[in-house]
Amino acid sequence: MDIIMATLDHLEDASRLFDHYRSFYQQASDIETAKTFLRERFHNQDSVIFLAQQEDHVVGFTQLFPSFSSVAMQRVWILNDLFVEADYRNQGVAQALMETAEAFARGTGAVRITLATQTSNLTAQALYQRRGFTKTEDYVYYALGL
């Protein structure tokens, strides 16, 4: 398995996985809008996407968005998306994607990676805990739908 940083040349594969990821979270499949969204991320350079390849098939991805900590005055990466095709789960793909994301974040001098997952996604929570992520109890997070 190879983990690569995606470029615009990988738009088709990245969009397919991104669409499957969104479907996993009960969103309607919309491959064209997924392509548009990711194309904008590539053009604006406002996210980093890593793809997991086995042979010539792209089987998983993670997407990181940059942010900053005002208190620490350092970069923070938000791991917003992590997805592995069902047939390739429990084979170390997510682990490899996480390792790559963590190494990338360290390489950029980031102070931390943050993420959120559904409370019902126990598989993802177990992975994050094994990787050393800790559930934060120090802050209350709010969201405002617009």
Tokens representing residue 78 in the block: 């938000």
d(CA 93, CA 88): 7
pTM: 0.93
d(CA 94, CA 88): 9
Q: What is the mean pLDDT of residues 120-128?
A: 92
Dump pLDDT digits (tens) for 125-135. 999 999 999 99
Predicted confidence (pLDDT) at residue 141 exceeds the cutoff of 90: no
Dump pLDDT digits (tens) for 62-104. 999 999 999 999 999 999 999 999 999 999 999 999 999 999 9
